[in-house]
Amino acid sequence: MALEVKNLTFSYARNPSRKRRDFSPVFAVNDFSAVFERGKITAVMGPNGCGKTTLSKLLVGILKPLRGGVFLDGENLSGRRLAEIGKQIGLVAQQPDRQLFCTSVSDEMEFGLKCLELDSAEIEARKARYLEYFDLERYAETFPFELSTGEKQRLVIAAVIAMKPAYLILDEPTSALDRGRKAALGALLRGLASDEHTGVVLFSHDESFTARYADGVIKMEEGQTG
Amino acid sequence: MTGGASNHVKSGGLRSIDPRPKLMLMVSASTACMLTGNIPHIAGILCVLILTLVVGGADMLVVLGRIRALLLLIAALFVIQTIFAGMDGLLLAAVLSLRLLVVVLAAAILLEGEIRDYLLALVQMKLPYELAFAVIVGLHFLPILRDEAVNIYCYMQLRGKDFKKLGIAKKLRAYSGLCLPILAGALRRAYETSIAMDLRGFRAMPGRTSMRRLSMRGTDVILTIFYPVIFIALGFIFVR
Amino acid sequence: MKTDDHIFIETRNFSFSYPPTGKGTERRPALADINLAIEIGSITVLVGPSGCGKTTLCRCLTGAIPKLIKGTLTGEVYIGGREIAHDDAVTVGALSAQIGFVTQEPDHQIVMTAVEDDIAFGPENLMKPPAAIRSSVDAQISNMGLAGKAETNPSALSGGEKQRLALGGILAMNPEAMIFDEPMSNLDADGRTRFTRRIKELKSGGRTVVIVEHDFELFDFADRWVLMKDGRLICADAPANIPRSLLEDELWR
């Protein structure tokens, strides 16, 4: 059981006849292969601009590969809807602002759980558990956008983890966390890997964090990018 | 490839022309077609605009790609007007559509240039710089907002929201959920940016200097005069 | 009241709270009774858990609080010997020539559509002569490793490049002090090393530097680490003199 990436190639080279005046910096992934096992924390590290964020988007199907593919427990992701993929692979992307959709922290936690069609007792239980773990209970009725960056980051992580996806992808999850929160997150990820058998993929610059909590490290080189 | 490469579109032709003749073209073409109701006159103006694009070396495929949606809108308006107003309305509808076309094409010509040059041109034309900057910063945000909307739409689906499975009412509710992060993000960005601009001394002094200065060459001066003159001349030829 | 000549930034019995939110709940003070004096040409790192008031303190030092962001404020802030918090004659814009602030998100700070224009933005606001702006812009472009990208749209730069652009834009204004809010959060290992080197250069150039950073250990060469918790200043001393127990445990509890 693993999330497998085979000869993944992606670039943003566009059809030249419809030139988009372009904006976001985009980095290519070139012939990249890797296996992310369940029950393990795998860190993916590399210099800025090596395509880490692009890879994280490819892993969940937001971007479609040019060549190669992403295989979830042996099954190719291509053609599957994001909403289906999201139930098995949780993504915590870099900017928490873009991953908050509700008017209260409590609703935010319920958003994904309701989509999973869980019964209300289960929803309440998971919500309470993760709000407490991430020290967010006192904000339950707060508007998520009033939280600080670190609190928003914790909320997104809590909301995604509460869905108990088989795989969890985190893009720079510690960038706005202080060391106490980092340690708490690391311990939780370890627990998920060993108890729930979650496959965790950790994209990070934070060497001390990955050295401490990851089972293995995959280095992305500048050469792997186009 | 990184996105940077596409910023360097080939220079020369329209792109190497000063922004002021292009601004003059935009203003004089739209004014002229609003003042006249004469179809040959407006068609003549249109021809001048198309010639400008072709002679100026604009990549017509790119231009069409940019204005495609607007062209469809104009066509749809034309059809609707003729249906509801019959033959009498046909003439009116044609005039309106042609006028809109002129404005769209003039805007397409404006797009053959850099935003930064228009900003500088507006400031050099003594427009209050606060106003010019407000416009530029606004324009700067539009593509960012669009990219954000796309991202948010994806992240929402990844949290299990299946837009395809929802009924119309629920779909609308789900889409309204999209607005929240987009709006909140835009407001926060605007707020943070306005503070950052102040911290970089914006409006600290009674005025502002500019590192670059645009200067008009002979062709630019000639073109600035040429456009209003030719549009008026076309009027004399066709309107008797 | 004038402060000592070798002190550039000073706060005295300074407290601040953000205005209460709509729900009528009074917020606890973001900063309480801060007394801090920062010497000219020194490097100070603000350390503490999230929400401890580090960023708020930075905003006060730039004048953004209370000039742009309102709230309840007591005590004084001195920049270069002049009280700024209560003096309405002091504007944020005027302070920008003395204190440069580099935001955590470079995207919030970058306003122009070309690298060189963005670096020129600050000096243009200060009405520096065009020729002088051109030379300092060119100097910053090469200094920040952005050679060949003068006309590139900043949105096409990588995270590290954007951050260097943001820094270059502030340095071009030639401020006496620089404040950085979480400068390392978007940088890789290489970028971090380069950044710490740059900070040392700023110091040797005589500038006063204040940094808010989670990874404060990277700044073991700083003159002082200032530890904050719950809006209060707990300890301010040379990194070597700070009790390890405080740094490793108590501060984060």
Q: Give Cα A103 distance to the centre of its chain.
A: 22
Burial class (CB in 10 A: 0-12, 13-18, 19+), B164: exposed
Q: Do A62 and B162 touch (CB under 8 A)?
A: no
* CA–CA distance, B100 with A161 (Å, rounded to integer): 52
Handedness of CA B38, B40, B45, B49 (dihedral sign): positive
Which of C57, C79, C66, C38 has its CA nearest to residue C181?
Answer: C57
Residues 173-232 of B with CB under 8 A from C: 189, 192-193, 195-205, 207-213
Return the pLDDT at A27: 65
Nearest chain C alpha carbon to A47: C188
Locus of tokens 């006496």 = C176
Q: Take residue C26 and report the two structure tokens written for it.
A: 């009074």
Q: Do the strands C31-39 and A75-76 form a parallel or antiparallel pair, or are they unpaired?
A: unpaired
Residue C54 with chain A: CB contacts under 8 Å? none
* Residue A17 confidence (pLDDT) above 50: no
**HSE-CB of B177 using CA atoms within 13 angstroms:** 24
Residue C96 with chain B: CB contacts under 8 Å? 198-201, 204
**HSE-CB of A32 using CA atoms within 13 angstroms:** 31
Q: Give Cα C22 distance to the centre of its chain.
A: 30
Locus of tokens 């186009």 = A226
Range name among A11-20, A133-142, C172-181, C242-251 with the lowest pLDDT average: A11-20
* CA–CA distance, C119 with C102 (Å, rounded to integer): 13
Return the pLDDT at B58: 87
* Residue A140 confidence (pLDDT) above 60: yes
In DSSP notation, B109-146 reads: HHTSS-HHHHHHHHHHTT--HHHHHHHHHHHHHHHHHH
| Regions of chain B where pLDDT drops below 50 | 1-10
Segment A153-158 shows an average pLDDT of 94
pLDDT tens digits for range C10-20: 999 999 998 87
Quote the percentage of chain A above a pLDDT of 90: 58
With an 8 Å Cβ cutoff, the interface of chain C facing chain A consists of: 21, 48-51, 104, 153, 155-160, 182, 185-192, 214, 252-253
What are the angstrom distances between the C-alpha of C184 and each of C159, C192, C218? 11, 6, 10
Give yes or no for a contact between C72 and C17, defined as CB atoms under 8 angstroms apart. yes
Segment A57-67 shows an average pLDDT of 89
Q: Average model confidence (pLDDT) for chain A?
A: 86
Residue B86 sits at the chain C interface (C-beta within 8 Å): no
Burial class (CB in 10 A: 0-12, 13-18, 19+), C129: exposed
Which of A130, A187, A120 has its CA nearest to residue A156?
Answer: A130
Return the pLDDT at B2: 35
pLDDT tens digits for range A213-225: 999 999 887 544 4
Which of B16, B9, B59, B56 has its CA nearest to residue B220?
Answer: B16
- The confidence band for A19, taking pLDDT boundaries of 50, 70 and 90, is very low
Return the pLDDT at C26: 56
Q: Do B201 and C117 touch (CB under 8 A)?
A: no
Nearest chain B alpha carbon to A13: B1
The answer, yes or no, to whether ipTM is higher than 0.85 is yes
Return the pLDDT at C25: 53
Query: Chains contacting A with at least 3 CB pairs below 8 Å?
Result: B, C
Residues 117-136 of B with CB under 8 A from C: 133, 136
Quote the percentage of chain C above a pLDDT of 90: 60
Return the pLDDT at B9: 44
In DSSP notation, A13-32 reads: ---GGG-----S----EEEE
**Around Cβ B182, how many Cβ atoms within 10 Å?**
18
Q: Do A25 and C253 touch (CB under 8 A)?
A: no
* Residue C21 confidence (pLDDT) above 70: no
Return the pLDDT at A226: 33
* Residue C158 confidence (pLDDT) above 90: no
State the angle between helix axes of B39-55 and B218-238 in degrees (0 to 180), rounded to the nearest 10.
160
